[in-house]
Amino acid sequence: MLKGKKILLGVTGGIAAYKSVYLLRELKKQGAEVKVVMTPMAKEFVGKLTFATLSGYPVEEEFFDRQTGQWFSHVELGLWADVFLIAPATANTIAKMAHGLADNLLLTTYLSARCPVIIAPAMDVDMYNHAATQQNLSVLKQRGNIVLEPNEGELASGLVGRGRMQEPEQIVEFLERFFAKSQSLKGLKALVTAGPTYELIDPVRFIGNFSSGKMGYAIAEELAMRGAKVFLISGPTHLSIAHPNIELIKVVSAREMHRKALDIFPSVKIAVLAAAVADYRPAEVASQKIKKSGDELVIRLVKNPDIARDLGKLKSTGQILVGFALETDNELQNAVEKLKSKNFDFIVLNSLKDEGAGFGTDTNKVKFIFSNGQIKDFPLKTKKYVAKDIIDQIQDLLERQ
């Protein structure tokens, strides 16, 4: 399964470094080509010679050769790899990665790598649970790195808890799935809308909504992970995303989002519309800040373009268009109406009645509704896993074309 895949294995200074030797052997057995980069501390746990012998390549660890003065290019390493797997990743290296420090070759390679990065943390339970580590991991995840959550169990310190690096077999299995998937949408283009839109009232005020953009960003990420080229048109959010397959197009208002979506849609195979677009905007935008006067202020609103409806009209055979519906009442009936009027292939319904679903949360509980009346109901999941379900469904439709 891993035949010919180029894996850069980063080893940092934790006791789990010994497991990386088994991991390296397993990767080689599966046909992968592996180069190893170590931090100076990692060498204290396992010798360079072990990794060099098993990988068939010299181990990279210094910025330059002290005897010849030859400079080792971290950029080359990052460009060579299909994936950069850091296992084990200590709390220290994770913290440095999150803050962009670059005081060893592993870190400079990380900063310049263009390939996906997979991190397998290994540390003591209290270090893992510490707010600083959790925050660092969450920053790395937000930036598009994949974190292989550590297992629970007995730790080197004698304590029991979460912090054990995933076993080599688990990591290899993950990589097999990762590479199998990373090819499945290769060559296809996709459009995703995400986040809220802001409709200006005056230079300092707007009409908006509570959409966080998390669902749309998760969908863009999943599409990119499977090899699609993604145009992510996003309203204002606090999220960041970095994946070589994603082109982030930032917009503010519904009309801007509409223009960009109409431009891009004819060139894509798949479009998923997860944005919470404001249906109305102020008829006039005041050029100066509106001053307080009187007891009432009336703002006249006019209708915004319906992006989904316009794309639905443009849709040609073979294109897949997926929309969302967020409903508080008559949900099924409303969702079916939207599905039909906007010409969606299916609609993802989230009900505000379900706890953990909808705006701002990390989780969502959805139903897929199809034009033939079929309904698929899913349990509460993180948005990342909801995104996987949505893309699996799209792939299913593509396979049936």
State the residues that interact with ligand CTP by CB under 6 A: 193, 254, 273, 275, 277, 279, 304, 306-308, 323-326, 338, 342
C-alpha torsion angle, residues 271, 277, 234, 367 (rounded to 10): -50
Minimum CB separation of residue 141 from ligand CTP in Å reads 25
In the complex with ligand CTP, the residue whose CB is nearer, 13 or 216, is 216
Q: At 123, list the tokens.
A: 């540390």
Choose among 363, 352, 354: nearest CA to 327: 352
Q: How many CA atoms lie within 13 A of 220 on its CB side?
A: 32
Minimum CB separation of residue 36 from ligand CTP in Å reads 46
* 3-class SS of residue 116: coil
* 3-class SS of residue 99: helix
* 3-class SS of residue 377: strand
Minimum CB separation of residue 257 from ligand CTP in Å reads 8
Minimum CB separation of residue 173 from ligand CTP in Å reads 35
Q: Is the separation of the CB atoms in 228 and 270 below 8 Å? A: yes
Q: Is the separation of the CB atoms in 118 and 178 below 8 Å? A: yes
Give the amino acid at 127.
M
Which phi and psi (to 5°) does residue 121 adopt? -65, 150
* 3-class SS of residue 84: strand
Residues contacting residue 315 through CB under 8 Å, at least 6 positions apart: 321, 343
In the complex with ligand CTP, the residue whose CB is nearer, 178 or 324, is 324
Catalytic residues: 209
Choose among 108, 89, 123, 83: nearest CA to 20: 89
CA distances from 207 to 149, 189, 254, 284 (A): 39, 32, 11, 13
In the complex with ligand CTP, the residue whose CB is nearer, 18 or 280, is 280
Minimum CB separation of residue 187 from ligand CTP in Å reads 26
Minimum CB separation of residue 228 from ligand CTP in Å reads 19
C-alpha torsion angle, residues 283, 289, 291, 297 (rounded to 10): 20
Q: Is the separation of the CB atoms in 145 and 2 below 8 Å? A: no
In the complex with ligand CTP, the residue whose CB is nearer, 306 or 389, is 306
In the complex with ligand CTP, the residue whose CB is nearer, 168 or 195, is 195
Residue with tokens 């510490």: 130
In the complex with ligand CTP, the residue whose CB is nearer, 118 or 273, is 273
